[in-house]
Amino acid sequence: MQLLNEMKSGTGHHRNNERVHGILQHAEAKGRSRMAEHLAYSTDVSVAQAGELMAVAPKGQTSNKAQSIASAWFAAAGGKG
């Protein structure tokens, strides 16, 4: 019921926009913009989780390496990447 109410009111969409913005503007996203974009748009990780992932990734990662790091993290966490 809560999900239905969020869908009707648009709060779920608003929360996702805040999450995407939080990931893209995170301090750890500096020099890791491709990884930040991947985490923001292709996953459902929280801002805090994205920050932790980006913190351990070298800056200037290529898109494929960033995705590999994120996918490995998801696999270890039992999620999907």
Query: Higher pLDDT residue, 10 or 62?
Result: 10
Task: Identify the pLDDT of residue 68.
Answer: 73
Mean pLDDT value of segment 3-13? 57
The DSSP line for 34-74 is: HHHHHHHHH----HHHHHHHHHHSPTT--HHHHHHHHHHHH
Per the CB < 8 A criterion, the answer to whether 23 and 53 are in contact is no
Per the CB < 8 A criterion, the answer to whether 23 and 50 are in contact is yes
Residue 13 tokens, joined: 């969409």
Average pLDDT of the chain to the nearest whole number? 81
DSSP state of 28: G
